[in-house]
Amino acid sequence: MQTLRRFDTAGMMIYIILTIYALLCILPMYLTVMVSISDESSIIRHGYQLIPEQFSLEAYRTLFNNKTVLLKSYLVTITVTVVGSLVAVMITAMAAYTLANPNVKYRGGLNLYFFITLLFNGGLVPWYIMCKKLGLVDNLFALIVPMLLFNAFNMFLVRNFMEALPHALRESAYMDGANDVRIAFQIYLPLCVPVLATILLFYALAYWNDWFNAIMLVDDKGLYPLQYVLFKIRSNIEMLSMIPAGASSQYTAPAESTKMATVIITLGPIVFLYPFLQRYFVKGLVVGSVKG
Protein backbone atom coordinates (compact mmCIF):
# COMPACT_ATOMS: atom_id res chain seq x y z
CA MET A 1 0.00 0.00 0.00
CA GLN A 2 2.86 2.32 0.84
CA THR A 3 4.51 1.48 -2.49
CA LEU A 4 1.28 2.29 -4.32
CA ARG A 5 1.03 5.63 -2.52
CA ARG A 6 4.60 6.50 -3.44
CA PHE A 7 3.86 5.60 -7.05
CA ASP A 8 0.74 7.77 -7.08
CA THR A 9 2.66 10.71 -5.64
CA ALA A 10 5.47 10.34 -8.14
CA GLY A 11 3.01 9.95 -11.01
CA MET A 12 1.07 13.02 -9.89
CA MET A 13 4.27 15.09 -9.78
CA ILE A 14 5.17 13.94 -13.29
CA TYR A 15 1.74 14.90 -14.60
CA ILE A 16 1.95 18.32 -12.93
CA ILE A 17 5.40 19.02 -14.37
CA LEU A 18 4.35 17.87 -17.85
CA THR A 19 1.18 19.98 -17.67
CA ILE A 20 3.16 23.08 -16.71
CA TYR A 21 5.66 22.39 -19.48
CA ALA A 22 2.85 21.91 -22.02
CA LEU A 23 1.26 25.21 -20.97
CA LEU A 24 4.61 26.98 -21.32
CA CYS A 25 4.92 25.54 -24.85
CA ILE A 26 1.39 26.66 -25.76
CA LEU A 27 1.85 30.17 -24.33
CA PRO A 28 3.98 31.57 -27.23
CA MET A 29 1.46 30.26 -29.76
CA TYR A 30 -1.44 31.74 -27.81
CA LEU A 31 0.37 35.07 -27.54
CA THR A 32 1.02 35.05 -31.28
CA VAL A 33 -2.69 34.56 -32.00
CA MET A 34 -3.68 37.31 -29.56
CA VAL A 35 -1.23 39.81 -31.02
CA SER A 36 -2.39 39.01 -34.56
CA ILE A 37 -5.96 40.03 -33.63
CA SER A 38 -4.92 43.07 -31.59
CA ASP A 39 -5.32 46.68 -32.66
CA GLU A 40 -1.98 48.19 -33.68
CA SER A 41 -2.41 51.29 -31.54
CA SER A 42 -3.07 49.06 -28.52
CA ILE A 43 0.16 47.14 -29.19
CA ILE A 44 2.10 50.40 -29.45
CA ARG A 45 0.71 51.64 -26.11
CA HIS A 46 0.79 48.44 -24.05
CA GLY A 47 2.99 45.98 -25.93
CA TYR A 48 2.07 42.32 -26.31
CA GLN A 49 -0.85 41.29 -24.08
CA LEU A 50 -2.35 37.90 -23.27
CA ILE A 51 -5.80 39.51 -23.48
CA PRO A 52 -5.80 42.41 -25.97
CA GLU A 53 -7.24 45.71 -24.82
CA GLN A 54 -8.77 46.23 -28.25
CA PHE A 55 -9.42 43.51 -30.83
CA SER A 56 -8.92 44.06 -34.54
CA LEU A 57 -8.73 41.90 -37.68
CA GLU A 58 -6.99 44.63 -39.65
CA ALA A 59 -3.83 42.52 -40.04
CA TYR A 60 -5.75 39.68 -41.68
CA ARG A 61 -7.76 42.10 -43.84
CA THR A 62 -4.47 43.61 -45.00
CA LEU A 63 -2.95 40.23 -45.84
CA PHE A 64 -6.08 39.03 -47.65
CA ASN A 65 -6.68 42.34 -49.37
CA ASN A 66 -5.88 40.70 -52.70
CA LYS A 67 -7.25 37.18 -52.30
CA THR A 68 -6.35 36.13 -55.82
CA VAL A 69 -2.63 36.78 -55.34
CA LEU A 70 -2.52 35.07 -51.95
CA LEU A 71 -4.47 32.01 -53.07
CA LYS A 72 -2.31 31.68 -56.18
CA SER A 73 0.83 31.90 -54.03
CA TYR A 74 -0.61 29.19 -51.77
CA LEU A 75 -1.14 26.95 -54.80
CA VAL A 76 2.41 27.58 -56.02
CA THR A 77 3.88 26.82 -52.61
CA ILE A 78 1.83 23.65 -52.11
CA THR A 79 2.79 22.39 -55.59
CA VAL A 80 6.47 23.13 -55.07
CA THR A 81 6.46 21.61 -51.58
CA VAL A 82 4.73 18.37 -52.56
CA VAL A 83 6.63 17.75 -55.80
CA GLY A 84 9.99 18.97 -54.52
CA SER A 85 9.83 17.04 -51.24
CA LEU A 86 8.88 13.73 -52.85
CA VAL A 87 11.52 13.97 -55.58
CA ALA A 88 14.17 15.14 -53.09
CA VAL A 89 13.44 12.19 -50.79
CA MET A 90 13.74 9.77 -53.72
CA ILE A 91 17.05 11.25 -54.90
CA THR A 92 18.42 11.26 -51.36
CA ALA A 93 17.33 7.67 -50.74
CA MET A 94 18.91 6.42 -53.97
CA ALA A 95 22.19 8.19 -53.23
CA ALA A 96 22.18 6.84 -49.67
CA TYR A 97 21.51 3.29 -50.86
CA THR A 98 24.44 3.50 -53.27
CA LEU A 99 26.84 4.74 -50.59
CA ALA A 100 25.59 2.16 -48.08
CA ASN A 101 26.28 -0.68 -50.52
CA PRO A 102 29.69 -2.21 -49.70
CA ASN A 103 29.92 -3.59 -53.23
CA VAL A 104 30.13 -0.10 -54.78
CA LYS A 105 33.68 0.83 -55.80
CA TYR A 106 35.17 4.11 -54.60
CA ARG A 107 32.29 4.71 -52.23
CA GLY A 108 34.77 6.12 -49.73
CA GLY A 109 35.74 8.79 -52.24
CA LEU A 110 32.09 9.48 -53.01
CA ASN A 111 31.37 9.88 -49.30
CA LEU A 112 34.20 12.40 -49.05
CA TYR A 113 32.90 14.21 -52.12
CA PHE A 114 29.48 14.68 -50.55
CA PHE A 115 30.96 15.51 -47.15
CA ILE A 116 32.91 18.41 -48.65
CA THR A 117 29.61 20.03 -49.65
CA LEU A 118 28.74 20.26 -45.94
CA LEU A 119 31.82 22.41 -45.36
CA PHE A 120 32.13 24.48 -48.54
CA ASN A 121 29.92 25.81 -51.30
CA GLY A 122 30.62 27.38 -54.67
CA GLY A 123 29.26 30.80 -53.76
CA LEU A 124 26.23 32.78 -54.86
CA VAL A 125 27.49 33.95 -58.27
CA PRO A 126 28.42 30.47 -59.62
CA TRP A 127 25.12 29.15 -58.26
CA TYR A 128 23.18 31.86 -60.07
CA ILE A 129 25.10 31.35 -63.34
CA MET A 130 24.48 27.60 -63.18
CA CYS A 131 20.73 28.14 -62.62
CA LYS A 132 20.60 30.52 -65.58
CA LYS A 133 22.44 28.05 -67.83
CA LEU A 134 20.00 25.30 -66.83
CA GLY A 135 17.01 27.48 -67.67
CA LEU A 136 15.83 27.73 -64.08
CA VAL A 137 14.33 31.20 -64.48
CA ASP A 138 10.67 32.26 -64.27
CA ASN A 139 9.27 28.74 -63.99
CA LEU A 140 8.28 26.28 -61.27
CA PHE A 141 11.53 24.37 -61.80
CA ALA A 142 13.37 27.43 -60.49
CA LEU A 143 11.63 26.90 -57.15
CA ILE A 144 12.15 23.12 -57.08
CA VAL A 145 15.44 22.08 -58.68
CA PRO A 146 17.95 24.31 -56.79
CA MET A 147 16.93 22.68 -53.50
CA LEU A 148 16.91 19.15 -54.90
CA LEU A 149 20.65 18.92 -55.43
CA PHE A 150 21.76 18.30 -52.79
CA ASN A 151 21.38 18.11 -49.00
CA ALA A 152 24.29 15.96 -47.88
CA PHE A 153 23.20 15.94 -44.22
CA ASN A 154 19.93 14.20 -45.08
CA MET A 155 21.77 11.79 -47.35
CA PHE A 156 24.21 10.79 -44.60
CA LEU A 157 21.28 10.38 -42.19
CA VAL A 158 19.63 7.89 -44.54
CA ARG A 159 22.94 6.19 -45.39
CA ASN A 160 23.71 5.56 -41.71
CA PHE A 161 20.23 4.14 -41.23
CA MET A 162 20.72 1.76 -44.15
CA GLU A 163 24.16 0.71 -42.95
CA ALA A 164 22.58 -0.28 -39.64
CA LEU A 165 20.41 -2.83 -41.45
CA PRO A 166 21.77 -6.40 -41.67
CA HIS A 167 23.95 -6.92 -44.74
CA ALA A 168 22.49 -10.43 -44.98
CA LEU A 169 19.32 -8.87 -46.43
CA ARG A 170 21.20 -7.67 -49.49
CA GLU A 171 23.28 -10.79 -49.86
CA SER A 172 20.28 -13.13 -49.67
CA ALA A 173 18.43 -10.99 -52.22
CA TYR A 174 21.42 -11.21 -54.56
CA MET A 175 21.43 -14.96 -54.19
CA ASP A 176 17.74 -15.05 -55.12
CA GLY A 177 18.49 -13.17 -58.33
CA ALA A 178 17.26 -9.69 -57.35
CA ASN A 179 19.04 -6.65 -58.76
CA ASP A 180 19.82 -3.44 -56.88
CA VAL A 181 16.69 -1.64 -58.08
CA ARG A 182 14.45 -4.36 -56.72
CA ILE A 183 16.43 -4.62 -53.48
CA ALA A 184 16.25 -0.88 -52.94
CA PHE A 185 12.52 -0.48 -53.61
CA GLN A 186 11.20 -3.75 -52.18
CA ILE A 187 13.51 -4.32 -49.20
CA TYR A 188 15.48 -1.26 -48.11
CA LEU A 189 13.04 1.60 -48.67
CA PRO A 190 10.15 -0.08 -46.80
CA LEU A 191 12.51 -0.68 -43.86
CA CYS A 192 13.69 2.94 -44.00
CA VAL A 193 10.26 4.53 -43.60
CA PRO A 194 11.17 6.20 -40.25
CA VAL A 195 14.23 8.01 -41.57
CA LEU A 196 12.57 8.79 -44.92
CA ALA A 197 9.63 10.35 -43.08
CA THR A 198 12.10 12.40 -41.06
CA ILE A 199 13.89 13.86 -44.07
CA LEU A 200 10.52 14.32 -45.82
CA LEU A 201 9.60 16.68 -42.98
CA PHE A 202 12.95 18.48 -43.34
CA TYR A 203 12.50 18.94 -47.08
CA ALA A 204 8.85 19.97 -46.79
CA LEU A 205 9.65 22.68 -44.24
CA ALA A 206 12.54 23.91 -46.35
CA TYR A 207 10.39 24.18 -49.48
CA TRP A 208 7.47 25.72 -47.60
CA ASN A 209 9.63 28.41 -45.99
CA ASP A 210 11.73 29.17 -49.07
CA TRP A 211 11.62 32.70 -50.48
CA PHE A 212 15.25 33.16 -51.52
CA ASN A 213 14.89 31.28 -54.81
CA ALA A 214 11.91 33.45 -55.73
CA ILE A 215 13.93 36.62 -55.15
CA MET A 216 16.86 35.39 -57.22
CA LEU A 217 15.20 33.46 -60.04
CA VAL A 218 11.56 34.50 -60.45
CA ASP A 219 10.22 37.76 -61.90
CA ASP A 220 6.78 36.46 -62.88
CA LYS A 221 4.35 37.55 -60.13
CA GLY A 222 2.14 34.58 -60.91
CA LEU A 223 4.92 32.26 -59.69
CA TYR A 224 5.62 33.99 -56.39
CA PRO A 225 5.44 31.50 -53.48
CA LEU A 226 3.52 32.26 -50.30
CA GLN A 227 6.53 33.23 -48.20
CA TYR A 228 7.75 35.77 -50.75
CA VAL A 229 4.29 37.34 -51.13
CA LEU A 230 3.93 37.67 -47.36
CA PHE A 231 7.47 39.00 -47.14
CA LYS A 232 6.66 41.75 -49.64
CA ILE A 233 3.39 42.64 -47.89
CA ARG A 234 5.09 42.83 -44.51
CA SER A 235 7.95 44.93 -45.89
CA ASN A 236 5.47 47.40 -47.42
CA ILE A 237 3.55 47.65 -44.14
CA GLU A 238 6.72 48.21 -42.12
CA MET A 239 7.73 50.94 -44.53
CA LEU A 240 4.32 52.61 -44.12
CA SER A 241 4.56 52.33 -40.34
CA MET A 242 7.73 54.45 -40.38
CA ILE A 243 5.90 57.35 -42.03
CA PRO A 244 4.60 59.73 -39.32
CA ALA A 245 0.84 60.17 -39.40
CA GLY A 246 -0.12 63.68 -40.48
CA ALA A 247 -2.84 65.86 -39.08
CA SER A 248 -5.24 64.59 -41.73
CA SER A 249 -4.48 60.90 -41.25
CA GLN A 250 -4.59 58.95 -38.02
CA TYR A 251 -4.17 55.55 -39.68
CA THR A 252 -1.63 53.26 -37.99
CA ALA A 253 -0.16 50.58 -40.22
CA PRO A 254 -0.56 47.17 -38.50
CA ALA A 255 3.14 46.25 -38.57
CA GLU A 256 3.39 44.14 -35.40
CA SER A 257 0.02 42.42 -35.73
CA THR A 258 0.80 41.64 -39.38
CA LYS A 259 4.03 39.88 -38.37
CA MET A 260 2.07 37.59 -36.07
CA ALA A 261 -0.73 37.08 -38.60
CA THR A 262 1.93 36.02 -41.09
CA VAL A 263 3.14 33.38 -38.63
CA ILE A 264 -0.39 32.03 -38.23
CA ILE A 265 -0.98 31.85 -41.98
CA THR A 266 2.30 30.02 -42.65
CA LEU A 267 1.86 27.33 -40.00
CA GLY A 268 0.35 24.93 -42.54
CA PRO A 269 3.06 22.27 -42.91
CA ILE A 270 3.80 22.03 -39.19
CA VAL A 271 0.14 21.74 -38.20
CA PHE A 272 -0.92 19.28 -40.91
CA LEU A 273 2.25 17.34 -41.72
CA TYR A 274 4.02 16.80 -38.41
CA PRO A 275 1.21 14.84 -36.64
CA PHE A 276 1.38 12.20 -39.39
CA LEU A 277 5.17 11.92 -39.18
CA GLN A 278 5.87 12.37 -35.48
CA ARG A 279 5.86 8.63 -34.70
CA TYR A 280 8.70 8.19 -37.20
CA PHE A 281 10.56 11.40 -36.40
CA VAL A 282 12.48 10.48 -33.22
CA LYS A 283 13.24 6.94 -34.42
CA GLY A 284 14.56 8.25 -37.72
CA LEU A 285 16.85 10.77 -36.05
CA VAL A 286 18.20 8.43 -33.36
CA VAL A 287 18.75 5.35 -35.50
CA GLY A 288 20.01 7.28 -38.51
CA SER A 289 22.40 9.49 -36.57
CA VAL A 290 24.72 6.69 -35.43
CA LYS A 291 26.33 3.92 -37.41
CA GLY A 292 25.22 0.49 -36.27
The pLDDT assigned to 89 comes to 93
Cβ neighbours, 10 Å, residue 136: 21
Q: What is the pLDDT of residue 179?
A: 86
Is the overall model pTM greater than 0.75, yes or no?
yes
Q: At the topology level of CATH, where does 59-288 sit?
A: MetI-like fold (1.10.3720)
| pLDDT per position as a tens digit, 59-103 | 788 777 767 778 888 899 999 999 999 999 999 999 898 888 888
Q: What are the tens digits of pLDDT across the range 126-165? A: 889 988 888 888 888 999 998 886 678 888 888 888 888 8
d(C-alpha 218, C-alpha 199), whole Å: 26
Question: pLDDT tens digit string along 21-59?
Answer: 888 888 888 888 888 888 877 777 777 778 888 888 887
Alpha-carbon gap, residue 131 to 199, rounded angstroms: 24
How far, in Å, CA of 260 to CA of 290, rounded? 38
